[in-house]
């Protein structure tokens, strides 16, 4: 997910089951979560994989404070509460978000693993409307609950999505620590037989790729090079050309910043070799960087987008 945890039809059934177990109507859940009733209905039936941004932004409310897990009081809470909305309501208007209702989708009486998936799901929804502090809030709680439920695969899945969200929320160090937690979990001998090999490989690739954007965005070029070299060629081997192109491109940018011009030029050329298998903007960026290197000019600064 460029968006963390995705929606599937089985997840829609889980959402419906959780809603019904709390005796909530779709309208009540819509009011508590800020998602339109129609969007929730479509998700429960598996008809929608991504809610419409306009629908989800149809109401706004008071600005949201920073992540709540920084406070001990929030750590003791087990029920989901409705995250605050970003943005401000127009002057002179009232909004139903002025007094958020508790979201009872997963309460203290529910199964811990179901609560974890509910938080992961709500984090994904907040991510789709760029409410990254709220998304990080839910993902973090989901990771805690997956740990409590001893569900290592759920923990790995939600933690991978959390790296990008934490980075977007300006919590670079927390993103790096999350990646370390993932790698420590993968290396733990207790989980050797619990994590399927394909999940282990994909998780390691995704986590390192995601954290490389943190290093790039912070200008930590040596850390970025180390991360990208550790996964160099692995996306190519799997035929994932779009991701492979970005690894080559970003490694070239980082190497150029460190003065490794010959190696950087080789990585830019690797992007161009992929031709139409990578997006045009990636090829254009590689061409610009290669031209700058060959003419002795500085490589232009760019914004690293995952």
Give percent of the chain above pLDDT 70: 71
Question: How confident is the model over 107-135, as a mean pLDDT?
Answer: 81
Task: Give buried/exposed letters for 255-275 (b at 16+ CB in 10 A, else e).
Answer: bbbeebbeebbebbebbeebe
Question: How confident is the model over 90-96, as a mean pLDDT?
Answer: 37
Question: How confident is the model over 27-53, as a mean pLDDT?
Answer: 69
Nearest to residue 53, comparing CAs of 135, 131, 133, 170? Answer: 131
Spell out the alpha helix ranges (H) of the chain: 9-21, 26-33, 37-44, 53-56, 72-75, 112-128, 132-148, 152-168, 172-187, 197-218, 221-230, 234-237, 241-257, 261-273, 280-294
Question: How confident is the model over 4-28, as a mean pLDDT?
Answer: 64
Question: How confident is the model over 84-111, as a mean pLDDT?
Answer: 40
State how far the Cα of 78 lies from the Cα of 251, in Å rounded to an integer.
42
Phi-psi region of 259 (alpha: psi -120 to 50; beta: other; left: phi over 0): left
pLDDT at 110 (0 to 100): 52
Give percent of the chain above pLDDT 90: 46
Query: ∠ CA 285-291-293 to the nearest 5 degrees?
Result: 105
**Full set of structural domains in the chain with CATH:** 7-63 (1.10.260.40), 111-217 (1.25.40.10), 219-306 (no CATH)
Helix 241-257, helix 280-294: angle, nearest 10: 30
- Strand, coil or helix: 81: strand
* Position 297 pLDDT exceeds 70: yes
pLDDT at 16 (0 to 100): 76
Question: How confident is the model over 227-247, as a mean pLDDT?
Answer: 92
Nearest to residue 51, comparing CAs of 33, 27, 32, 28? Answer: 33
pLDDT at 180 (0 to 100): 94
């Amino acid at each position: 997910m460029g968006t963390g945890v995705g929606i599937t039809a089985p997840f829609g059934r889980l959402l419906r089951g959780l809603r019904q177990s709390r005796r909530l109507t779709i309208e009540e859940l819509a009011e508590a979560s800020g998602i339109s009733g129609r969007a929730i209905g479509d998700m429960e039936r598996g008809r929608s994989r991504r809610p419409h941004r306009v629908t989800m932004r149809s109401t706004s409310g008071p600005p949201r404070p920073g992540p709540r897990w920084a406070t001990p009081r929030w750590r003791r809470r087990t029920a989901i509460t409705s995250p605050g909305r970003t943005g401000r309501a127009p002057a002179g208007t009232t909004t139903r978000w002025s007094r958020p209702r508790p979201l009872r989708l997963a309460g203290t009486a529910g199964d811990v693993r179901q609560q974890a998936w509910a938080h992961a799901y709500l984090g994904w929804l907040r991510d789709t409307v760029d409410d990254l502090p709220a998304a990080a809030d839910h993902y973090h709680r989901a990771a805690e609950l997956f740990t409590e439920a001893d569900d290592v695969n759920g923990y790995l899945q939600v933690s991978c999505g959390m790296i990008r969200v934490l980075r977007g929320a300006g919590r670079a160090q927390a993103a790096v620590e999350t990646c370390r937690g993932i790698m420590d979990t993968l290396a733990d001998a207790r989980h050797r037989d619990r994590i399927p090999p394909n999940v282990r490989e994909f998780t390691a690739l995704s986590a390192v790729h995601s954290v490389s954007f943190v290093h790039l965005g912070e200008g930590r070029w040596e850390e970025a090079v180390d991360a990208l070299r550790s996964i160099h060629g692995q996306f190519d081997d799997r035929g994932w050309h779009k991701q492979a192109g970005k690894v080559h491109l970003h490694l070239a940018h980082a190497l150029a910043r460190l003065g490794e011009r010959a190696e950087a030029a080789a990585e830019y050329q690797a992007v161009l070799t992929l031709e139409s298998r990578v997006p045009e903007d990636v090829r254009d960026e590689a061409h610009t960087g290669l031209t700058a290197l060959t003419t002795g000019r500085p490589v232009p600064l760019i914004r690293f987008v995952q």
